[in-house]
Structure 1
Amino acid sequence: MGSTRRRFTDEYKAEAVAFVIDGDRSIAQVARNIGVHEMTLGKWVKKERERRSDAVPADAPVTESERAELIRLRAEVKDQSAEISELRMQMEFAKKVATWFAKEKQ
């Protein structure tokens, strides 16, 4: 016996996607709660996010939540850049120490 494929209305899909996007819930959590496979819900969410991003003009003003996220991401990049610089300095120092030890052994 073959399996029957479930069909979902557009309204059902929109509600499920809203739980994820607007409700700040994970795809896995919502999928478990509504009895839909994670991959299926993930495709619905991806499609809606693409639709929403296409609907916003490139020169649209930044919302408050986007501004807050931008500030957070810039701070994160700054911290990571500082960490990378520190690691590079440590690496250069380690190279110099290794070179010095190699010369000492000769």
Structure 2
Amino acid sequence: MSDSSSGRTRRKFTPEFKAEAVQMVRDSGGKIAQVARELNIYDSTLGNWVRRADEEEAGAPTAEERAEIRELKRELERVRRERDILGKAVAYFSASDPRNG
């Protein structure tokens, strides 16, 4: 795969390589730039791997989980609006029902 903006070929890294790189950062006291140079990868790439590993270990939701949470919140809001509308309709029709009167 080629990065069209820079003309460089995008490299793929195995999960094992990423885990080892993250561990190297942790063993070095958090020196991302130094480890990135040693592994010949971009600082930002390694920084992203470290951040993701930290989030996973902290139990932070993944990107997929965050997307699902957003969708569920939207659905909950829609269901609440429907409930409120139905409640108002019941109150309206109950008040105008001659049998209740």
Q: Provide TM-score, normalisation by structure 1.
A: 0.47
Q: Which one has more relative contact order, counting CA pairs under 8 Å at least 6 apart?
A: 1
Q: Provide TM-score, normalisation by structure 2.
A: 0.49
